[in-house]
Amino acid sequence: SGAAWARGLLSWARPERWLASGSLFPLSCIHSSTALQKIGKWEKKNRIVYPPQLLGEPRRPAEIYHCRREIKYSKDKMWYLAKLIKGMSIDQALAQLEFSDKKGAKVIKEVLLEAQEMAVRKHNVEFKSNLHIAESQTGRGRYVKRLRCHGKGMFGMMRISRCHYFVKLVEGPPPPPEPPRTGFDQAKEYVQQLRNRTLVHTL
């Protein structure tokens, strides 16, 4: 009963917008000593609620944030896959990952399918193919040091590395790729920089 009273008190003292929207059950945002230690920042990004749009404003595209933590893979190797699918449409990304030989490709494919399903069910996305990958990043997970035995009684310490994978899906077709910077563009920028020079600390 004491815990329930404390929970009731805390839920009253924290008037967040999540409670107003009624999408989350109020007691679930208070964690006492459950296995879920900390909700990461990326997961919290899904919870922001914007004020309703005015009539004249262009429609704000839906954004879906999803991640997977502590994947047993190296963050550098995962980064190559994340770089591959950056900026692609979700169908193209799933096709590329399906035929990639890397271990992380299978994991990323699962994450993308989960995110797509979340988008359709919870985030009011009409067409599941109308999504593109705005951001895809990797992060370092918890490393563990272990002994690796060599011959002649020698040993070394090896690191068992884990990584996190973060993805942000945005509704709409993928943006057109930027044209590569030519020498002419660089020259124009240089000339502009020279023209922007002024006198400082003077009258």
- Under the binding rule (CB under 8 A), the answer on residue 177 touching other proteins is no
> Least distance in Å: CB of 157 to other proteins?
20
CA 127 distance to own-chain centroid: 21
Closer Cβ to other proteins, 98 or 189, answer by number: 98
Closer Cβ to other proteins, 62 or 88, answer by number: 88
Q: What one-character DSSP code corresponds to residue 89? A: B
Sequence-ordered list of residues with C-beta below 8 angstroms from that of 66, at least 6 positions apart, any chain: 46, 111, 114, 115, 118, 166, 167, 168, 169
CA distance 102 to 107: 10
> Least distance in Å: CB of 82 to other proteins?
10
> Least distance in Å: CB of 81 to other proteins?
7
CA distance 135 to 65: 9
Instruction: Identify residues 21-80 at the interface with other proteins (CB under 8 A).
Output: 76, 80
Instruction: Identify residues 2-21 at the interface with other proteins (CB under 8 A).
Output: none
For other proteins, the binding residues (CB under 8 A) are 76, 80-81, 83-84, 95-96, 98-100, 102
